[in-house]
Amino acid sequence: MNGKHISNLGKFYCSKFISMGIPITKGDVKTKLMGPDLLAHAHWMCTLLCVPIPEDSVSKMMRWLCFVQGVFAAQGIYSVHEMRWHNAPRKLSSEIRESIVLYKGQLMVLQKHLIDENPKVQEVQDMCVRDLLGSEEERNIQSKILELEKVLLLQG
């Protein structure tokens, strides 16, 4: 598995966490994290997987991805079989691609709340959006979505 695939899975899993209403919270790793706290910590880890991953960080990010997948399996969110399919090297499935697009929209909604707590969120979000979709048509669509979302954020 390469850094781009890990990053795409991070975006896919972040979309899942967001759809479940799981907040992004770095947990206290010196305590036993369980239930909602464990899910929130796994969501936080996923956000760090969404950026482009340098080749020398792939093994570390792979361990983080495995942790997140272990949380999903333990909580019954995804089966091991499903995640094995997620990990397989292939062209992005339409399900994963749609989830990544959904994730970008969800990031914009969360941005207003998160920016106040952590200014680095904007930088991470910008990297995710730049790296996410490759074709000119998709970039044009994304540009229009971003314009509309900025208007909505300013109105909110």
pLDDT in tens, 6-53: 888 888 898 889 889 999 989 888 888 888 999 999 999 998 888 888
pLDDT grade, residue 5 (50/70/90)?
A: confident
What pTM was computed for the model? 0.60
Complete DSSP assignment for 39-99: HHHHHHHHHHHSS---GGGHHHHHHHHHHHHHHHHHHTSS-HHHHHHHHS-SSPPHHHHHH
Q: pLDDT tens-digit profile of 60-108?
A: 999 999 999 999 999 999 998 888 888 876 655 666 666 666 666 666 5
